[in-house]
Amino acid sequence: MVDLRFKIEGAEAERFSVSPLLIFFLRVETELQRRVDSIMLNCQIRIDATRRAYSAVERERLGELFGAPERWSETLRSLLWAQVSIVVPRFEGETTVRLAAPCTYDFCVASAKYFYGVTDGEIPLTFLFSGSLFFKDEPGSLQIEQISWSTEANYRMPVELWREAMEMHYPNGVLLRLDAEAFDRLYRFKRRRGLLGFEEALATLLDTAEAET
């Protein structure tokens, strides 16, 4: 089996995309003494939540994911972020490619809850690779080898990088998804109170609830 090594050398928020993306710069190395024609690469990106410490504020914000802090020794676990696929073009020895990971403000998705809940520091990530490697042997015949599922790379991503990506697309805002019935009730409340926007309607409801509490 051809030995492949992967390393994440850095990351940045993509500025010119329709939706929020984080770009990871993936270095691929091989000891194969000939040209690699291409690699059809699959990558599963996981959040290694157990590999960092959390402040009291973060524990409160992450309660929906992991429960009460006193139970975190049992409930804290890794989370799936994304499954992405790319084609690594022809190279010899080593190359660097851009691996794009989608971001979302959909709080039905565990990764969005986690990224929003962590306030500072770094997020430990694991990249798990699979796929197919294409190259020619000495006689010139095409060879195909599978990439072992044990092939991986680790990276500690600054939390601010995710916030930067979201701020580019949703400046000073957060998306909130409601089902149709809840939206109709909120819209009806807004109209009846003569309120100008949905933020004002939500603020009125929250102020009332907090006053009653």
Cβ neighbourhood burial of 194 (10 Å; 0-12, 13-18, 19+)? exposed
172 within 8 A of 164, measured Cβ to Cβ: no
pLDDT of 132-186, one tens digit each?
999 888 888 898 999 988 899 999 999 999 999 999 988 877 777 788 998 898 8
pLDDT of residue 1: 65
At 72 the three-state DSSP class reads helix
